[in-house]
Structure 1
Amino acid sequence: MPIIFLLLQVINTNSWPSYRFNIPNGNVVPNPCNPADIWTAVGHGKPKVFAPRNPFGEDFLRYGLTWNRYLCMTDSDGDGRTNGEELGDPTCEWEQTNPTSLSTTVSHPGVCEPIDSPVCAQKPDNHKCSSQRKLDCPSFSRNDTEQLKINMTNAHVPIKLSSYVCLEVRLPYDKDYHLLAAEPIIDKTKIVDQIQIFACDSGLHSRVYNHPFECGEKPRGDCQSLIGGYSRHEKGICFPPKSGYRIGKTGCRQIIFQIRYKNPYLNPALYDSSGITLYYTRYLQRFELGNKLISVTHFTLPTGMKTTTITSEYPGECSTMQMSRPIYITGAFIHMHSYGRQQIVELIRDGVPVEVIADGTGFKAHNLRGTHLKKPIRMFPGDSIRTVCWYDTTTAKTPIKWGLLSTNEMCSTSLMYYPRNDWLDATATSFKQIPLCKLQTTGEANGCHFGRLFDAVRQTDATSIALEHCAAEKICTNACASIASVAFTHPCLTGDNYELLQSRLTRKFERLKNFMDALKLCRVEQINNTKVLEAVFPTTDIPPTVDSNIDLSNFHIPTGEKTRRNNAGIPIPFQITRSSTSRMSSKPNQRLRPVSGNSIHPQHVIEANELKQQSAKRLSRAHKQSVPSRRNLVRATAFPTSGFPKQINTRGTRTFSSQGEQKVLSLKPREHPLAKLANLIHSMHNPSNV
């Protein structure tokens, strides 16, 4: 008999989670004591299982465990609202087999609300809220804290399946404070997907919009320090004991409060007043928290790949120069978009992983997820931080580029650490595989000494004038073409390095911008000319690209003086000149410029007039075939049948060798010499020469 009684008690008190789908909005009924939490067992006295039925549960059983008009019109908890009104079906039209559009204003049908109202307080069996909060944070009970409540104030929810709405907030700045914690205030549980709080740069005091506005997933560039928020995994902010995040006079003066809304039925009449409460104190804590954004940018993901990885590293060379002493990492927030599947952040010491800072296994997009370390991880100067992101692009129809939009992808981590002042406020972002912190420290990265390149461009005034002319007039003169042919073989102007110099990150450097614009112009012209020449001459007749191992130590642009014959009367290799009408000058008696350091056998020398006539005929044929202007084609006196560049001599003449033959390519610029930059480029190849 006792056993049967116990079984009946279990059956009577046990809740079945599937029953919540028998009522409208049954899976999003909020906990009256903590709206951020869902009351799973709607018909029972506690949010979870194994609790007696509440008044709504009794009525639900009485009406056959189904939603009908009788149950809908009943006010089970006696708070003056029918069950239908509380569950978002005031007209009692909802059916499980044919669900209709519901209101997103949902409250608990089995708990009299507000709980502390006079009517509800008189009900002895009504639910009582525990004094313990969902987010158990010691800072909530401190006597020295002040509160700042921030909310959207009846903000309109965009008519989109998902959207981001931001509110810029100015913090107290009469003195310095330490932010200790933050607690969410959720108005509409069903439509509020997540909340994020972004701290703006210290000292920023710009105009603040006092009204909510639709924004992107990532806020503006000077407000990207993510310090916490709310989601299915995050219930607020609670910084470690004896630590705080500086706000106020010399700290963060502004934050961006962002909510991601869901509007699955595209309801045009949705409004929300969710917000957050900040807890801060004027008594500065022992440890001041800092925030470091570690990310990789400007990458592209291929389509149709089950697994694609992006890896970036904040190297030890940077931490050595940017950290004055060890710091302590207290937590991290990882961030990817819809194609992201996993993200791992590791601390590397002497090339070996020693700690996992954050493990984002099972990552789901648009779901704020943080790692809060009970024991902070100690990071020494010289340690590295490696971030690896995994993506699944099998459903992508086009390559996915890095970017801030939800259709782009990201791979970033926001680290919280202390003491803030022991880690310089410098970048920890990588441009593809180039750690930008190296440009701020050693100046050398990915095989390029960017510092020397910048100095070369900055100090070579004559070069700047010539390149500015090319960039402004959008023409590639011989001078620009000559320097471009050498520059494009330099490590700084290949691969990721070239893309970095072409990016907006360097656009503020005016001379570098002119330099890159001129080189880009010459590169496009070189490609176009190559296509034309391939159509006019055999492919093997076109000189290959200058080899990067060529000795450039004595290179400078030829000045165009007359050449001569050697002591034996042998004609010495010549150069081509252009008249103002873009015609090739032909002076039969013109002597030729010597090729320094080369001994040319008489039988290997092609007479100047003969070569000029051959080149003129070829260019004439090219012009007749409607090719680009002759100005762009006058580049060479002869093209070898095969071979490779042997050297660039002191007069700028390329000599090609092929089976004992030598043919010469020489350029005459219309601008003044650019020797200084060429020598600096060579010195960057050989640092010992600097």
Structure 2
Amino acid sequence: MELLKILLTCFIIGFAHGYRHYQDDLPNGDAVPHPCKSNFLWRGVGHKNPQGGGDRNPFGLDFQQVKQWTEELCQKDSDGDGMTNGQELGDPDCVWHPGNFPSRIKNITHPGICDPWGSPQCTAKNDWVSCTAGEFICNATKEPDVKSFTLRYPPTRVPPTETNYYCMPFDVSKYIDMSQDYHLIATKPEINNSNVMHHIVLFGCSDDAPMSDHATPCYMSQKGCNEVLGLWTLGLDGTCEYKDAGYRIGRTGSKKMVMQFHWTNPELRSDYVDSSGMTLYYTPKLRKYDAGFLFTGQVYLEIPPGVKRSTFESTCTEECTNKLMKGNIYITSGLSHMHYLGFNEQVDLFRNGERVTKVIDDSTYSYDNPQLKVYSTPVEMRQGDSLKTTCVYRSVSKTRTTMYGDGSYDEMCYGLFSYFPKQNMTGSCTTWKNFDLCQFANKDHIVSGCDIPMFENLTSPEMRAIVNEVMDSCNHYGPCRPECPAVLDRLNKHPCLQGELGELLLYGFAGGHDAEKIKFAHALRSCDKVEEPVYKFPLSASAACTASSVVAGIIVAVVTALVL
């Protein structure tokens, strides 16, 4: 028992920054599931040592006495449940060394928590572990004029696939009087099946959006429903808007809404049913400003496996803020959004080339425990300012490249912000590599001399001629044909095939569902040197879906991805 107490005692000071070191020093250190919170990875923050002193270390293993993963530490059974630390962490033979991949990366269990959870022999040993989420506190919801209603899915079977996006529309006139306007000031999740719930996004819809009495599969959002009104993701207790702002619903605001669910079902179980939802708090006492929602970030990610640190950046440029903004806005809250490889995220506000402030400073990012930053004094953002988003990833337990995508085990890089007044900002501000996606906001849809609608439409006369010439001279599979280079040399000067714009358009073609576009994209690349590829096409199904088309895929994903 004394040895166990020593192993379960932490002498680490400044845990928040030290945990990242532990991830490197343990096999699968960044992939240990939480024992009693479904869909959570273990972060270990805030669990107090029952013997007194500071927080425990993340796994109850004493690294003050043992500075590295040794055979001695590997063979110990620190939690007394009959399995060695090595068996629980995927290194049963105790041969792992930092920088290598463990022999097993699945079915990982916690080496400092007794299993099976809830059994009589483990109850006392595990009483220091918190299994509850925090309480939602929003004082404004207690004001006498504030009312609420709850939107909830009917019991819906969760498909036996890893990632599922489902959407269900709601006619809000069933809950509120549409003869006047209201401000939506807070949302609270109502989670029915925590085994699968990953996130919820509430969208406001146009008046002509189609209605239904059941949930159906959707990709990130539903047609006609693009205005973000609320969100929940793992670790959040709810959202409470700034005192002077709210999302407009009712007579001149959203009359219809769609609630989008992201279910994660890594066990591929077919017996899961869910009827989660959201409670919406609203008031007829309109606040001073309408609230809006802003995304920044990078929508092209390619994270190599087995790397401690991969950094990706995106800048919402001065040109974009001048294009998208009609006046100053005031940011009231900020949330980092990456997935399980996410390690550190920063969003910096620049003015005239000088940094004004860090709008997000999330140096210990946790996917399952996001920290919503609420600004007591809203952060002013002016036309001509820029926002730089930096996302850092750790992939030490991955054996494959991770791409941007909507799945839980793909990756994202977003800063998510509430702001006011909504009228002063149109659209979000993201990049694909270094290409500003705000350029697609041009009313004439001409970008750098490229007519986007023409290029997307293979039946247009100009595009039909280009496609026919390429397919007549170049292979969409196999080696480069002798007559192909001369054709490509001329056609690659077309404005729609220049630089990162051309790369983005062909990325969308290659990752979509139109067979002719896929063949055309690969034929254009058929004479590239293998050792120096010009374009890298999607490597995963989810990344392919994300890139299905520029206008209908990437831009929609930019506007609606959560988080998400």
Q: CA offset at residue 251 of structure 1?
A: 3.0
Q: CA offset at residue 430 of structure 1?
A: 0.8
Q: CA offset at residue 142 of structure 1?
A: 3.0
Q: 1:357 aligns with which of 348, 351, 359?
A: 359
Tell me which amino acid in the other structure corresponds to 1:452.
Answer: G
Residues 410-466 of structure 1 deviation map (CA, whole Å, 9 limit, x = unaligned): 11122111111111x23412111111113546999xxxx9432439988xx996674
The equivalent residue for 2:451 is 454
TM-score, normalised on structure 1? Answer: 0.48
Change (3 A) 1:298 1:209: farther
Question: For this pair of structures, how many residues does the alignment match?
Answer: 398
Query: Partner of 1:497: helix, strand, or coil?
Result: helix
The equivalent residue for 1:620 is none
The answer (yes or no) to whether the contact 1:163–1:262 under 8 Å persists in 2 is: yes
Query: Partner of 2:449: helix, strand, or coil?
Result: helix
The equivalent residue for 1:96 is 120
Query: Partner of 2:336: helix, strand, or coil?
Result: strand
The equivalent residue for 2:314 is 312
Change (3 A) 1:194 1:224: farther
The answer (yes or no) to whether the contact 2:474–2:483 under 8 Å persists in 1 is: no
Q: CA offset at residue 323 of structure 1?
A: 1.8
1:217-616 matches, within 5 Å, as 218-220=220-222, 227-230=229-232, 233-257=235-259, 274-423=276-425, 425-440=426-441, 450-454=447-451, 466-471=465-470, 473=472, 482=486, 484-488=488-492, 493=497, 496-504=500-508, 521=523, 524=526, 526=527
The answer (yes or no) to whether the contact 1:196–1:226 under 8 Å persists in 2 is: no
1:161 and 1:143 mapped to 2: Cα distance? 44
Q: CA offset at residue 389 of structure 1?
A: 0.5
The answer (yes or no) to whether the contact 2:183–2:285 under 8 Å persists in 1 is: yes
2:234 and 2:467 mapped to 1: Cα distance? 55
Residues 470-496 of structure 1 deviation map (CA, whole Å, 9 limit, x = unaligned): 256566999986563245468974553
The answer (yes or no) to whether the contact 2:298–2:433 under 8 Å persists in 1 is: yes
The equivalent residue for 1:140 is 141
Change (3 A) 1:367 1:253: farther
Change (3 A) 1:195 1:453: closer
Q: CA offset at residue 241 of structure 1?
A: 1.5
Query: Partner of 2:307: helix, strand, or coil?
Result: coil
Stretch moving more, 266-275 or 318-327: 266-275
Change (3 A) 1:304 1:221: farther
Tell me which amino acid in the other structure corresponds to 1:298.
Answer: Y
Change (3 A) 1:372 1:192: farther
The answer (yes or no) to whether the contact 2:452–2:496 under 8 Å persists in 1 is: no
Residues 296-327 of structure 1 deviation map (CA, whole Å, 9 limit, x = unaligned): 11321112211001100100112123222211
The equivalent residue for 2:182 is 177
Tell me which amino acid in the other structure corresponds to 1:242.
Answer: D
The equivalent residue for 1:206 is 209
The answer (yes or no) to whether the contact 2:138–2:240 under 8 Å persists in 1 is: yes
The answer (yes or no) to whether the contact 1:295–1:413 under 8 Å persists in 2 is: yes
Tell which structure's C-alpha radius of gyration is larger.
1
- Which of structures 1 and 2 has the larger relative contact order (alpha carbons within 8 angstroms, sep 6+)? 2
2:505 and 2:496 mapped to 1: Cα distance? 8
1:342 and 1:294 mapped to 2: Cα distance? 16
Q: CA offset at residue 165 of structure 1?
A: 6.4
Residues 557-607 of structure 1 deviation map (CA, whole Å, 9 limit, x = unaligned): xxxxxxxxxxxxxxxxxxxxxxxxxxxxxxxxxxxxxxxxxxxxxxxxxxx
Change (3 A) 1:322 1:219: closer
Query: Partner of 1:504: helix, strand, or coil?
Result: helix
Q: CA offset at residue 346 of structure 1?
A: 1.4
1:435 and 1:341 mapped to 2: Cα distance? 25
The answer (yes or no) to whether the contact 2:169–2:258 under 8 Å persists in 1 is: yes
Change (3 A) 1:485 1:255: same
1:429 and 1:385 mapped to 2: Cα distance? 10
User: Where does structure 2 lack aligned partners over 5 or more consecutive residues?
Assistant: 1-34, 38-46, 49-116, 124-130, 476-480, 532-564
TM-score, normalised on structure 2? Answer: 0.58
Tell me which amino acid in the other structure corresponds to 1:97.
Answer: Q
1:517 and 1:473 mapped to 2: Cα distance? 12
The answer (yes or no) to whether the contact 2:337–2:415 under 8 Å persists in 1 is: yes
Q: CA offset at residue 95 of structure 1?
A: 3.8
The answer (yes or no) to whether the contact 1:230–1:368 under 8 Å persists in 2 is: no
The answer (yes or no) to whether the contact 1:467–1:518 under 8 Å persists in 2 is: no
The answer (yes or no) to whether the contact 2:199–2:234 under 8 Å persists in 1 is: no
Instruction: Please tell me the root mean square deviation across aligned C-alpha atoms, in Å.
Output: 4.9
2:317 and 2:354 mapped to 1: Cα distance? 13
Change (3 A) 1:470 1:219: same
